[in-house]
Amino acid sequence: SQKIEQNSEALNIQEGKTATLTCNYTNYSPAYLQWYRQDPGRGPVFLLLIRENEKEKRKERLKVTFDTTLKQSLFHITASQPADSATYLCALDMGGGSQGNLIFGKGTKLSVKP
């Protein structure tokens, strides 16, 4: 079965630096991959979706890459701010007959220090 790993439980960086979060999967390449932000005690909020035929996608200070050879997605936040502190979840489609359902990683908790 598909396994998804976000390689850091926690990431601490200084304000203004670029945060880079990693998402790895083990088996088949998903048709698409999504990134969400979750604040404590709240539901996740969708950020970006990237499809298997896309190498990179951007939205304001966010950038996502998708490398099907490495079976990896990288999520970048440039010029990071303390308000970016949250847990970031990677999710990918389960494939096959899953009807578009997602499997979520455990998340990486990002802390941006002023």
Partner 1 sequence: DGGITQSPKYLFRKEGQNVTLSCEQNLNHDAMYWYRQDPGQGLRLIYYSQIVNDFQKGDIAEGYSVSREKKESFPLTVTSAQKNPTAFYLCASSKRSGTEQFFGPGTRLTVL
Stretch that binds partner 1, among 56-64, 69-77, 78-86, 104-112 (CB under 8 A): 104-112
Cβ at position 105, least distance to partner 1 in Å: 5
Among candidates 14, 42, 29, 17, which has minimal Cα distance to 111?
14
Give yes or no for residue 37 binding partner 1 (CB under 8 A): no
Handedness of CA 61, 3, 7, 109 (dihedral sign): positive
- Applying CB under 8 A, the site for partner 1 has a residue count of 24
Choose which of 19, 89, 92, 112 interacts with partner 1 (CB under 8 A). 89
Six-digit token string for 31: 């048709």
Residue 12: Cβ within 10 Å count: 12
Looking at beta carbons only, is 21 or 91 nearer to partner 1? 91
Closer to partner 1 by CB, 11 or 102: give it. Answer: 102
- Binding site residues, partner 1, CB under 8 A: 4, 9, 31-32, 34, 41-46, 49, 89, 91, 93, 99-107
